[in-house]
Structure 1
Amino acid sequence: MFPEKFIIRMQEMLGEEYEAFYETLREERHQGLRINTLKAETEGFLKKAPFSLSPVPWTETGFYYEGTAQPGRHPLHEAGVYYIQEPSAMAPAAFADARPGERILDLCAAPGGKSTQLAAAMKGQGILVCNEIHPARARILSENIERMGIRNAVVTNETPERLAERFAGFFDKVLVDAPCSGEGMFRKNEEACGEWSPENVELCAERQDTILDSAAQMLQNGGRLVYSTCTFAPQENEGTISRFLKRYPAFSIVKLGKPECFSPGRPDWIPEPAPGIEATMRLWPHKLKGEGHFLAVLRKEGTLSDISSLPLRKDGNRRASEKECGEFLTFASQSLKGWQGGNYLFFGEQLYLLPPGMPSLKGLKVLRPGLHLGTMKKNRFEPSHALALALKPDEVCLSAELVSGEENKDYGPAFAWLNGETFPLTGEKGWYLITVDGYSIGWGKLAGGIMKNHYPKGLRKNWR
Structure 2
Amino acid sequence: MRQLPDLFLAEMRALFGQFGRLGQWPEFLQALQEPSTAGLRANRLKITPGLLRRYLAAQSGFAPEDIEPVAWSADGFRLPAGLQAGKLAGHAAGLYYIQEPSAMLPAQVLAARPGVKVLDLCAAPGGKSARIAADLGGEGLLWANEISAERVRALQRNLELTGCTQAVLTSASPEDLARALPGYFDAVLADVPCSGSGMMRRDDHAARSYLSYGPESCSLLQRQILESAWQMLRPGGRLIYSTCSFSLTENEAQIARFLADHPEAAIRAIPKAPGVDDALPLTSQLTGAARIWPHRAAGEGHFCAWLVKAADCAGPARALPELPAEQGCAEDWEAFAAFSREVLSPAGHDRLAAWLENHRRRAENGRLHLVPPCPDFHGLYRLKTGIFLGQVQRKGRSGARFLPSQALLLSLSQLELSHVLAAPEGHSLIRQCLRGETLFVPEDQDVSGWPSGTLAAIALGTGQGIWPLGWARLTQPPILKNLYPAGWVRPGQNV
TM-score clears 0.5: yes
TM-score in terms of structure 2 length: 0.87
Alignment gaps of 5+ in structure 2: 17-21, 395-399
Larger CA deviation: 36-45 vs 86-95: 36-45
The answer on 1:333 being equivalent to 2:341 is: yes
CA contact (8 A) 1:403 1:412 kept: no
Tell me which of 351, 360, 367 is aligned to 2:368.
351
Q: Quote the Cα distance in structure 1 between the aligned partners of 2:165 and 2:323.
A: 23
Alignment gaps of 5+ in structure 1: 406-410
Q: Quote the Cα distance in structure 2 between the aligned partners of 1:399 and 1:221.
A: 48
Distance 1:435 1:97, change over 3 A: same
1:364-396 Cα shifts (integer Å, max 9, x gaps): 011112211101111110100111111101112
The answer on 1:463 being equivalent to 2:487 is: no
Larger CA deviation: 25-34 vs 437-446: 437-446
AA in 1 matched with 2:337: L
AA in 1 matched with 2:291: R
Q: Quote the Cα distance in structure 1 between the aligned partners of 2:309 and 2:413.
A: 38
1:185-237 Cα shifts (integer Å, max 9, x gaps): 11111222123249621111111110011111101111110000000000100
CA contact (8 A) 2:473 2:482 kept: yes
Q: What is the SS of the residue equivalent to 1:325?
A: helix
Tell me which of 172, 175, 178 is aligned to 2:186.
172
Measure how far apart 1:303 and its partner are. 7.2
Aligned equivalent of 1:385: 406
CA contact (8 A) 1:317 1:362 kept: no
CA contact (8 A) 2:270 2:290 kept: no
CA contact (8 A) 1:185 1:230 kept: yes
Q: Quote the Cα distance in structure 1 between the aligned partners of 2:323 and 2:360.
A: 15
AA in 2 matched with 1:392: S
AA in 2 matched with 1:281: A
Q: Quote the Cα distance in structure 2 between the aligned partners of 1:458 and 1:289.
A: 34
Measure how far apart 1:171 and its partner are. 0.5
Q: What is the SS of the residue equivalent to 1:298?
A: strand
AA in 2 matched with 1:433: A
Q: CA RMSD in A?
A: 2.0
Q: Quote the Cα distance in structure 2 between the aligned partners of 1:86 and 1:146.
A: 20
The answer on 1:104 being equivalent to 2:106 is: no
Q: Quote the Cα distance in structure 1 between the aligned partners of 2:269 and 2:336.
A: 49
Aligned equivalent of 1:431: 455
CA contact (8 A) 1:184 1:232 kept: yes
Measure how far apart 1:397 and its partner are. 2.0
CA contact (8 A) 2:78 2:101 kept: yes
The answer on 1:422 being equivalent to 2:431 is: no
Measure how far apart 1:315 and its partner are. 6.7
1:218-275 Cα shifts (integer Å, max 9, x gaps): 011111100000000001000111111112111101123211321112234xxxx4x5
Q: How many residues align?
A: 449
Larger CA deviation: 1-10 vs 84-93: 1-10
Aligned equivalent of 2:220: 206
Where does structure 1 differ by over 6 angstroms across 4 or more consecutive aligned residues?
A: none
Measure how far apart 1:446 and its partner are. 2.3
Tell me which of 22, 44, 56 is aligned to 1:37.
44
Q: How does 1:55-454 map to 2 (within 5 A)?
A: 55-197=69-211, 200-268=214-282, 273=283, 276-302=285-311, 311-314=319-322, 318-320=326-328, 324-336=332-344, 337=348, 338=350, 339-340=352-353, 341=356, 342-355=359-372, 357-378=373-394, 379-405=400-426, 412-419=428-435, 420-424=437-441, 426=447, 427-429=449-451, 430-437=454-461, 438-449=466-477, 450-454=479-483
Q: What is the SS of the residue equivalent to 2:210?
A: coil
Distance 1:199 1:421, change over 3 A: closer
1:417-463 Cα shifts (integer Å, max 9, x gaps): 21223112513232222210201111122243233211112222223
Distance 1:34 1:315, change over 3 A: closer
Aligned equivalent of 2:6: 4
CA contact (8 A) 1:125 1:152 kept: yes
CA contact (8 A) 1:321 1:344 kept: no
Q: Quote the Cα distance in structure 1 between the aligned partners of 2:220 and 2:213.
A: 11
AA in 1 matched with 2:138: G
AA in 1 matched with 2:302: H
Distance 1:312 1:327, change over 3 A: farther
Q: Quote the Cα distance in structure 2 between the aligned partners of 1:325 and 1:112.
A: 31
Larger CA deviation: 290-299 vs 9-18: 9-18
Q: Quote the Cα distance in structure 1 between the aligned partners of 2:125 and 2:212.
A: 26
Measure how far apart 1:317 and its partner are. 7.3
1:33-58 Cα shifts (integer Å, max 9, x gaps): 11111111222222232234211111
Measure how far apart 1:89 and its partner are. 0.3
Larger CA deviation: 294-303 vs 26-35: 294-303
Aligned equivalent of 1:408: none
CA contact (8 A) 1:172 1:224 kept: yes
Q: How high is the sequence identity, in percent, across the aligned residues?
A: 36
Distance 1:298 1:57, change over 3 A: same
Measure how far apart 1:316 and its partner are. 6.6
Q: What is the SS of the residue equivalent to 1:9?
A: helix
Aligned equivalent of 2:54: 47
Q: Quote the Cα distance in structure 1 between the aligned partners of 2:342 and 2:198.
A: 51
CA contact (8 A) 2:270 2:305 kept: no
CA contact (8 A) 1:93 1:175 kept: yes
1:138-174 Cα shifts (integer Å, max 9, x gaps): 1111111112221111111100011111111110000
Aligned equivalent of 2:397: none
TM-score in terms of structure 1 length: 0.92
Q: Quote the Cα distance in structure 2 between the aligned partners of 1:84 and 1:315.
A: 33
